[in-house]
Structures are given as structure tokens and as C-alpha cells.
Amino acid sequence: MIKVGVIGSGSMGIGIAQVAANAGHEVVLFDTNQQAVEKAMNKLQKILVRLVEKGKIEESTSVEILERISPASSLIEMQGSGIVIEAIVENLAIKKSVFSELEEICGDDCILATNTSSLSVAAIAAACKKSSRVIGVHFFNPAPLMPLVEIIPAIQTSDAIENETRSLIDSWRKVTVLAKDTPGFIVNRVARPFYGEALRIYEEGIADFATIDWAMKEIAGFRMGPFTLMDFIGNDINYTVTETVFAAFYYDQRYKPSFTQKRHSEAGWYGRKSGRGYYDYADGAESLIVNKNKELGDQIVWRVLVMLINEAADALFLNVASREDIDLAMTKGVNYPKGLLVWADEIGIQKCVDALDDLYNEYLEDRYRCSPMLRRMAAAGSTFY
């Protein structure tokens, strides 16, 4: 069984280390901040103790996982690894520097993987002389609990590395999907309207945060409403991802950020971690009153949902991923109640096209343009499945 290297000991890095160790691999964990590694290992130990107490794992398994993870004091200790997964700050220059250094340390047969969620895998791979062994392996947080992993080959990645990487991650009992190296890959691209259109509905004064969340959770069946979820993720993080995706798509209006979220981020209202976001999490804070008008709720759900379906259809149209992988990514990566393309079939393709055309005709904004795939399918009377 190959040795696995993990760079970065944040929540994602230690989570990936736990997944690999649980699958039986010897893991080397490195971070430039040695105290961060110690803190991460202590945190993992507490998590494993809780899992044992809850009867989720045996105590012997807990001990084995911890024993398989070795903190490293230098990148040199990545030597001998079969795969190294980088999970550090989303900064292209820093990542390229790390990959360039790794190439000098690791053997020619070592897979060099990046866990980036928003940067170009091709740009990271370009830092290496042998760029064919670089690939994107995007886990979702928390890595031990979230089943989905996006596998993103760069244009330089060899077929052998792509197949070997996917086979390895599959063996870790993860659900893998293959995505083209485009901004946001599958999940972070297709999910943008869940936040963006909800924010737009709020900014137009149609409904408040709590009412929009109620509609998306109780009527549509999403696990969390968009504002609860943004508060959970952190408005600073979510806004930065939105800005990154917007710029990466050459400022396509479909991905335009919201001033509401920008102001919340600027005010330090990040959400749960700061005690205030779209909601006030202080003790004794008043709960917002929800307007449970079914007609209003249906209007909110339909507008957000049709934008999500349009984004999923366009991802398929532009060959970002297969039909099955797009639906699998959204159900397994962000817990959507059903695949968006399945949902489109149930609603009716023509109905989706008509709704998007109505929005476009009302606003005359490019954000509401209908995907050519939906329009062609409606004309042909075809379905996704």
C-alpha cells in the first residue's frame, strides 16, 4: 500500500489525512507551522475519541488511524510517497512554489495532487517539468464525512495518472466524479445561483433572509436555506469564491457577486464563526419572523431552482462533466434533494425555458440567458434521462 503525503494541516488537510489513514495508508502530514500540525493531531484525537464513544468506530481503529499519521518537519519527508495531496491556502504563486519543490523531492512515479477548489489545475501543473503527473483531487469539508471527491485532470495530465488517481480515491470509499478544469469545476460552478439568486431576491425586496431560507428548506427540500448555509460556510469565504469564479469566467453576469454579501463580509459579519451574519447568533437574539405564504414560497423556489437547472444544463452543454456526474456531484457534494437534471425532466424542459425567457425579458440581463442545451431540448421534445 502506497505512502500518502498531505501538505497543510487545516481542517481539510487533517481530514484528508484521516481518510487516507482509515483506508490503511501510512500518511505523512506537513505544515510550515509545526504548532498547527500538533493542534490538528490533538483535534483529530478528540474526534476519534468521540467516534469511539458513539460506537461509530472501534477503539483499535482509532489507535491505528493515529499511529498511521506521522507529522513531518520538512517537505523532504514526502520522499517515497505514491501520492502527495496539497491542501494549503488558495494562492496560485504559493501552490506553484510548493509543487516545483515537490517535484525535486518525490520520485517520478509519485502523483502530485492539488485540493484546490477554484484555481486552474493547468496553471499549478505548469510549475512542474513533468506536468503530466499533476491532477486536481477536490475533497469537500469535512472530508471524512462528505462522500464526494471531484477528480480534475489538467490538459497536461496523462490518462494513466487520471485513471490511477480515480481508482485510488474510489478505494477510499469515496464517490468520485470527473470534471473539466474550468472555474469552480462542477459543484462550485453549478451551485452559484443557490446563493446568487437568493441574494438577488432579497435585494429586490421580494422576501427577507428567513423567508427565503424557509422556502428553500421546507418547500424545495434543501437541507439548509442559502443564508443559513452562507453563514455556516462564512461570508468571507463564500464571497471570495464568488469573486474568484466571476473573474475567472471573464466577468460573465451569471456569476456576478452581490453587494449585500460584500457588505456583510466587509462588516466582519461572517456568520456563525463571528457571531453575526445574515442572522444574529448572540444569546437572546430575536429570531426573524418567517412569512409562510405558500404562493410567495413557491415563487422563491421556482426562481432559484430554474437558475440552478440552467447552470447544470450549461455545464453539460460545455462538457464540464457527464450528465450522471453533474447530478451525482450536487447530491453527494452539497446534499441537494435530487439531481438538477432529473429535476428538470420532472418539471418539464419547456417550462424551464419559458421561465428563463420570462426572467430575461423582464430584466434584459445576461444572467438570465437560457442555456442553448435547454432550448434545443425543448424544441426536440427530449429529456436528460
Catalogue the active-site residues: 117, 138, 150, 188
Whole-angstrom distance, CA of residue 26 vs CA of residue 206: 54
- Contacts for 263 with CB less than 8 Å, ≥ 6 apart: none
Whole-angstrom distance, CA of residue 202 vs CA of residue 111: 45
Interior angle at CA 143, CA 311 and CA 335, nearest 5: 40
Residue 334 has a CB neighbour count (10 Å cut-off) of 19
Pairing relation of β-strands 134-139 and 148-153?
antiparallel
Tell me the sheet residues that pair with 139. Answer: 149
